[in-house]
Amino acid sequence: MSDNMLFDLDSEEKKSGPVKCLGREFENDEARRAHFIEELRKKLQDPEFRKIEGFPNGSDEDILNLSDPPYYTACPNPWIGHFIAEWEALKPKKPDNYSYHREPFAADVSEGKYDPIYKYHPYPTKVPHKAIMRYILHYTKPGDIVFDGFCGTGMTGVAAQMCGDRDAVISLGYQVKQDGSILREEIDETGIKTWVPFSQIGIRRVVLNDLSPAGTFVTYNYNTPINISSFEKTANRILKEIENECSWMYTTKHSDGRLGTINYTVWSDVFVCQECSGEVVFWNAAVDKEAGKVRDEFSCPHCSSSLTKRSLDRAWITFFDPIINQTQKQAKQVPVLINYSVGSSRHEKVPDQYDIDTLKKLEDLKVPYWFPSERMIFGKETRRNDPAGLTHIHHFYSKRNLYALAKLKSLSPSAKFNLLITKVSFQITKLYRFTYQSGVWGAGGGPLSGTLYVPSLVKELNIIKQIKDALKQRRGISHPATYGSFVGSTQSSSWLPSIPDNSLSYIFIDPPFGANLYYSELAFLWETWLRILTNNKEEAIENDAQGKGLDDYRLLMQKCFSEAYRALKPGRWMTIEFSNTKASVWNSIQTALLEAGFLVANVSALDKKKGSFKAVTTPTAVKQDLVISAYKPNGGFEERFSSEANTEDGVWDFVRTHLKYLPVIKKQAGELIIIPERDPRILFDQMVAYYVRKGYPVPISSQEFQLGLRQRFAERDGMFFLPEQAAEYDKKRLTVERLVQRSLFVFDESSAIEWLRSLLREKPQTFQDLHPQFLKEIGGWSKNEKALELSTLLEQNFLRFDGRGEVPSQIHSYLSTNWPELRNRPKDDPALVMKARDRWYVPDPNKAGDLEKLREKALLKEFEEYKQVKKKLKVFRLEAVRAGFKSLWQLRTPEAYKAIIEVAEKIPSNVLEEDPKLLMWYDQAITRSGGEIS
């Protein structure tokens, strides 16, 4: 059968009755698809349609073959807006007094990767659907429209549809009432566990998009219904044909002459001894089979010289490759072990002459079916195996696996059968490692996550067995998917013209993070079999091969976030999963979010329970992903702000609005923890960032902000709340024994001040008390940060009681609490004064204004020196640069913007990239001056 005979199955699709789609009725589903295929064909002939950012690389016919319009297209989907309009029309009318409000989902989530749905199809990274369900249930109601612009294999879609599955919801630990109300367990103010309704059971509609055709194709298969009986019937017929033609390729002889079926063959690198020029088979010479490890040093089997893998040269083979019509030189690998079955018994053997003859016969065999043979695209991963002579797609497959996979492709009657191809096409390559695990050789293994690394010991799997296993597992990933609840598209999320403004109810995304993974390179093996490739021009990553650095990554992510902001309804939420060890990438994401218009309300942890290879073995790797909760301010605030921005009213309107979106309670291991977003300094930074992004001067100083905050809002444990939030916090505070403070690490002036503030707020101390503690904390001081004496930090940020006059309230409170004999003493009592003398303390906000002015004056004086310096600044006071940038930006003149840019170019790029405040001022200066980064 031709691959063009899409959906030509002897299945229920042809026989099904009338179907409705986007307001039209069709005789059956095949008629529906035929109609929309022709509509999509017309679209593909429009040059403007092909200019949509991220349009994949592929022919019209290949795009049409892979698509199932209007539900899924292997190109930009022009029907998304039609679905959104239809979904909105189906929603019940809201009550006149309806008002949407959600706190950010602040709980830490832990969901494993072992669910059959999650495990079925490999992909570089993805979030378990059960974890995403928790977020969707929290932020949405049945019928709401969820969007994922970096959908990968479509777990957000699975989660959105499984919100209508009672058993799946209960499996998360929730209760479901007869009326569909979902309840979660909470602890009330008396400490009693109670069940509180928070959501409603029912599917959510979902729009899923990705730049990768492989990703969206797998997404489509996960999120649309399938007649599994019909699918299996056709698949088994195909498998029978493959077995009839290819089973001889996977046979070997048992010791008694019976034929067995090969489960896998182990291939080993071959090296050349530099002493005797003899060939060294790595498996035979370097591997300790009993201990299950590879020796660092081993002996040459010919001359007994001591060898290491690094010191050896490869052995090579040279052959003519008729597929690319050229002579090819490749690193030599030889078969060293065969694992096979005779009946139900498994055995192992060293390849014998029968096996060698079979392999020779295979090498002389021509594959009569189409298979991809493209040159590996330029890239770090895709070209990493060039030195070993693996330069084209077909070089990554053994001849028999290539033959059988090509046969499967030729027999596949439907695009849905390509899922079997993508499922096995990666794992049956030469990327599959042969490893020792749990006392067994051959256990574990698999391709090294996130790479295209070819190991020295390759485990060549029997593809027929892999296809059979994939078919069995296909039944296990079925879930209550329905046509009409999902729409999929293949394009960049930086421009989504078919999604209307203010139309999405919630966004969950797991975007690329810096240079963590090269998605388009890793997907290349899949996409060549699908015959459509990622257009990586708009791929939001750092990648030297694509000429993209951190600035390019940030700008691309900003475009994607701006589109998300445009399409999201006002007052609604976006959840971003973040996994990267670099502070510079973290700051790029935060900057991109702010530039797009979002405000961050919370950061929590998502534990996937099983780390990737890098997360497990790299000391600096992130063990838990972070989840950022960001919101789009409601329209009412945006309108008010435009008239209030130049007054203090705008500041307090912003704070009041922002506090509504922050979590009131945050728990960890059953204990309340400090919510950093409610800290006055972070609130001030958020307010400043918002003003800067909007292009307004900040109308209030830090000190005035601190005073105003205390006058207008309720303070609890150093955090600020709205009155009704404070009441709720007070109730919850009574149910726990203690409040967990966040850990503080001293690495620069700002963190040192924060550390001292935390220390002195709890206990006013003398210089002699503080100094030994300070010396212990500053071991990790940043190499670019100017080292400051403790005395300087204290003098510029805190106050010392010199023994004259009354004891300050902060010290009096501490002494009265900890020394019973000093209680009820007047503040000028000699004994009290003596005990309080020379103690440093956190100044009362009403009296700290002069101190802050003096500090700012000192910082700006130092900044002036940096402006005059002609050479690069290696060591400097970061707080001085921050103060200088802020002061210059307030002037809002071309000269001021130029001065910011000039100083920024004097400091190390990593310092600029890793500091969100500097990055904000610098980006704004670049934007408003019309200048460019030199």
Give per-residue pLDDT as tens, 669-705.
667 888 889 989 889 989 998 988 888 888 988 888 9
Report field, pTM of the whole predicted structure over 0.85: yes
Average of per-residue pLDDT across 511-539: 91
Tokens of 866: 């940096």
Tokens of 18: 């009338």
Does residue 395 contact residue 333 with C-beta atoms inside 8 Å? no
The confidence band for 479, taking pLDDT boundaries of 50, 70 and 90, is low
Tokens of 310: 């690094």
DSSP bridge partners of 259: 253
Under DSSP, the state recorded for 57 is B
pLDDT the model gives residue 606 = 66
CB atoms within 10 A of CB 520: 26
Distance CA 23, CA 36 (A): 13
Distance CA 552, CA 573 (A): 26
> Residue 339's closest CA among 168, 194, 459, 161?
459
pLDDT at 367 over 90: yes
Does residue 233 contact residue 415 with C-beta atoms inside 8 Å? no
- Residue linked to tokens 């989907």: 77
DSSP bridge partners of 24: 21
With 0-12 / 13-18 / 19 or more C-beta atoms within 10 angstroms meaning exposed / middle / buried, residue 349 is middle
The confidence band for 718, taking pLDDT boundaries of 50, 70 and 90, is confident
pLDDT the model gives residue 187 = 75
Does residue 80 contact residue 489 with C-beta atoms inside 8 Å? yes
Average of per-residue pLDDT across 401-412: 96
Average of per-residue pLDDT across 816-830: 87
Q: Under 8 Å CB-to-CB from 472, ≥6 apart: which residues?
A: none
pLDDT the model gives residue 787 = 86
> Residue 465's closest CA among 339, 335, 359?
339
Note the pLDDT tens digit of each residue in 623-671: 567 888 999 998 788 889 888 888 899 999 999 999 999 999 887 766 7
Least confident of 509-518, 825-834, 840-849: 840-849
pLDDT the model gives residue 615 = 42
Note the pLDDT tens digit of each residue in 218-259: 999 989 988 888 899 999 999 999 999 999 999 999 999 999
Does residue 125 contact residue 579 with C-beta atoms inside 8 Å? yes
pLDDT at 613 over 60: no
Task: Tell me the one-letter amino acid at 210.
Answer: D
Q: Under 8 Å CB-to-CB from 343, ≥6 apart: which residues?
A: none
pLDDT the model gives residue 10 = 38
Give the torsion through C-alpha atoms of 38, 39, 40, 44, to 10 deg: 90
Distance CA 399, CA 621 (A): 38
Distance CA 642, CA 656 (A): 16
Please spell the DSSP secondary structure of 632-658, one letter per residue: PPPHHHHHHHHHHTTSHHHHHHHHHHH
The confidence band for 333, taking pLDDT boundaries of 50, 70 and 90, is very high
Region of 57 (left: φ > 0; alpha: ψ -120 to 50; beta: rest) is beta
Under DSSP, the state recorded for 621 is S
Average of per-residue pLDDT across 369-383: 95
The confidence band for 175, taking pLDDT boundaries of 50, 70 and 90, is very high
pLDDT the model gives residue 109 = 74
pLDDT the model gives residue 114 = 65
The confidence band for 111, taking pLDDT boundaries of 50, 70 and 90, is low
CB atoms within 10 A of CB 423: 23
DSSP H/E element including 618 = none
> Residue 525's closest CA among 614, 432, 462?
432
Distance CA 730, CA 61 (A): 64
Does residue 880 contact residue 915 with C-beta atoms inside 8 Å? no
Under DSSP, the state recorded for 930 is T
**SS3 for 687?**
helix
Does residue 393 contact residue 528 with C-beta atoms inside 8 Å? yes
Q: In the predicted model, what is the mean pLDDT of the chain?
A: 89
pLDDT the model gives residue 53 = 95
Average of per-residue pLDDT across 619-625: 50
User: Cα angle at 782 between 778 and 784, to 5 degrees?
Assistant: 135
Distance CA 118, CA 792 (A): 55
- What are the structural domains, with CATH classification, of the chain? 12-164+202-226+479-596 (3.40.50.150), 247-363+372-396+419-467 (no CATH), 633-742 (no CATH), 860-934 (no CATH)
Tokens of 41: 């064909």
For residue 522, give Cα distances in angstroms to 378, 379, 420, 518. 12, 10, 18, 6
CB atoms within 10 A of CB 277: 10
Tokens of 419: 């899922």
pLDDT at 9 over 60: no
Note the pLDDT tens digit of each residue in 72-94: 999 999 999 999 999 999 988 87
Note the pLDDT tens digit of each residue in 768-795: 999 888 887 777 788 888 888 999 999 9
pLDDT the model gives residue 189 = 67
Distance CA 148, CA 361 (A): 49
For residue 411, give Cα distances in angstroms to 34, 65, 365, 407. 21, 15, 20, 6
Cis peptide before 47 (omega within 30 of 0): no
Tokens of 173: 């630990």
Give the torsion through C-alpha atoms of 668, 670, 676, 680, to 10 deg: -170
